[in-house]
Every structure is written in structure tokens, then in C-alpha cells.
Amino acid sequence: MKRFIILTEAGREVGFGHLSRMAVLRKILTDRGVSVDLRVKLDTTTELDWDGQMIPCDDWIKNWPKNNLIIVDSYRVGLDCLAGIRAQNLKLIYMDDFGRLDPPCDLIINANLGTESFLYKNADESLVGSSFVILQEGIRKSQKKVNHKDRLHKILISMGGSEVQPLFDSLKDFCDKHSKFEFKILAPWLSKESNPNSKNIEFISQLSAEKLAILMLESDLVLTAAGQTTHELAYLAVPFIAFAISKDQEPKVDFLLKCGLQSKRIQIASREFFEDLDQAISLLTSADARKNFGRQSLSLIDDRGAERIVDHILKLS
């Protein structure tokens, strides 16, 4: 059987979503007896505790052994890099997000809500849509949110990568304005020394999947960038408001609009960003509204996405 090499990225600038979902694939493949290297390119501002499960790797076009199958999951990789890998006559699987690239490859995977209609012309095969959403084990094994408090009080804000850092002061002002709420802000680019100097804000930099699930379930509402976190929240039936921090996240927000789970496309670059958040929060103030949201979101995602992907890619090997 071929050796699998996963190439991905992580850090305060790009976030840890790619690494977390590739760690899931690595575990499932390893549990099935496949040899897998997980190689990670870190941004320059991040230190990571290399635990033996990951290998630092900046050169993705090196001469890989001929019996390898390469999986690439990256927001930053370009067509030249992917072409350089495939030119070595290697099996190539590319994880895309919202049609950013359409490279020649053996398999392209777009494991996101609302991408069922995406077409790729240059890949031999494609797997698209919510059936292939990858969830961390700590999320998959967690209970679902059932009880919703009458009073909206605990709000979690999940910020993604450091693209949102320029809004940091405005975000604190937003939280201060809503002094009746208790905010927890989850952002991987936050330093351990971050101090909000506010009575109703707590900053959190990183959590394990198990602790993240607990934090989500304890929250009455989550304001989140429209990345992998939206999948986890939908699976857990936790009410959320999604906003796009980059153009590639807009299709997911549009999908939520079509489902009736959101009333407006909210973009972090908009001048009305915080006003739009205020309006969206007002629609989820009541326990009934949040309960209905959770009930509807449960139908969007199951826990078999990663297994379906592994079933398929093993056929390529």
C-alpha cells in the first residue's frame, strides 16, 4: 500500500482549521493500518509543540518517493506548487474551499456546507458538499445542545486567523456596549498575556476539541467566522451567527441564508459589520428562536464525513 503524506499549514495568521481536519484524516487512516506523515508549514509568528504526530515542512515540491500519495490542504498553496507535485507522477488529492483553485489532480475534495453544486473541470474525481464535512473526534463524540436558557447571556466569539486582528479594539468596544452579556473570545492569534481589561470579556487562544465542544455547549450563542467552526456548531446544534472574513467564506454565509438560518450576509469588511451583528443577535434573543435554530442545524451534518473521504481515497491507493 502507498504511503500517505499530508501537507497542510497552521498558525496565528491562517488559523488551525486545516491542521485539525487533516489530523482527523491522519488518525482514521492510521487506524486502518495506513502509514501517514502529517507535514505542517507554520507561519512565522507561531510556535507549535511538535508531538511526534507532525513533521515541520516548508518545501512541498521536494522529490517525494514514487510510491507516495499526497494530500494537500492549504489556503495559500498555488497552482505551480500543485503542478510540481503532480509532475513527479504522484497521486494528488487537493482539499479545496469554495472553488479557490481547480488544479489537475486525481481527486479534489470540497468538504463544506453548500458546495454540492460546485463543478471541477480539471480533477479526475471530486467529492463535494456536507456529506464530506470533517469533524474532530472531540466534537463527534460530544453530546448535542438541547437546553436553551430563557435569557441570552453567554456569547462566544470565534475569530479565525489574524485577518480580524485590526478589529480588535472595535470588538472590545462592541462587547463593552453589551455589558449585559458575558463574552468569551476565541482567537488563535491571541497571546497568553492578552488582557481585555473588561469585566465581561475573557480571551481564549487555543483549546482541545473536547474542551472546545464544552465551551460551545455552554454558550447561548456563538458569533463565528464562516469556516470550519460553523460545521462544528451545526453538528452540536449550538445557535450561531456566521460572518465572512474573506471572500471564500461568502458562499457558506449565502448557504445559511438560503436555509433560513441567517437573515443577512454579514461581512467583516463592511462598515455595518457591528450593526449587522446587533440585528442578527436580536433575532436569536428568545429561547424558542435558538431552539428552532439548533433543531434545524442538526439536519445539515452527520459524523461520517471523514470516514466517507477515507473510504474513497483508499481506492486510489
> Per-residue pLDDT tens for 63-79?
898 889 999 999 889 99
Do residues 155 and 268 both lie within one domain? Answer: yes
Query: Please, which pLDDT band fits residue 43 given cuts at 50, 70 and 90?
Result: confident
Do residues 33 and 61 both lie within one domain? Answer: yes
Q: What is the pLDDT of residue 249?
A: 86
Q: What is the pLDDT of residue 46?
A: 58
Do residues 239 and 312 both lie within one domain? Answer: no
> Which domain covers residue 238, as residue numbers?
139-297
Do residues 243 and 147 both lie within one domain? Answer: yes
Do residues 143 and 167 both lie within one domain? Answer: yes
Q: Is residue 254 predicted with pLDDT exceeding 60? A: yes
Q: Which amino acid is at 111?
A: A
Do residues 50 and 120 both lie within one domain? Answer: yes
Q: What is the pLDDT of residue 207?
A: 84
Percent of the chain with pLDDT over 70: 91
Q: Which amino acid is at 90?
A: L
Do residues 285 and 155 both lie within one domain? Answer: yes
Q: What is the pLDDT of residue 251?
A: 87
The Cα 10–Cα 40 span in angstroms is: 7
Do residues 149 and 292 both lie within one domain? Answer: yes
Number of domains in the chain: 2
Do residues 126 and 143 both lie within one domain? Answer: no
What cell was used for 250? Answer: 461568502
What 8-state DSSP symbol labels residue 147? -
The Cα 16–Cα 205 span in angstroms is: 11
- H-only helix segments in 95-219: 137-140, 168-177, 209-218
Across 27-113, the runs of DSSP E, i.e. the strands, are 36-42, 55-56, 68-73, 91-95, 105-110
Region 180-184 average pLDDT: 95
Torsional class of 152: left (φ above 0), alpha (ψ -120 to 50), beta (otherwise): beta
pLDDT in tens, 125-158: 999 999 999 999 999 999 999 999 999 999 999 9
Q: What is the pLDDT of residue 188?
A: 66
Q: What is the pLDDT of residue 1?
A: 59
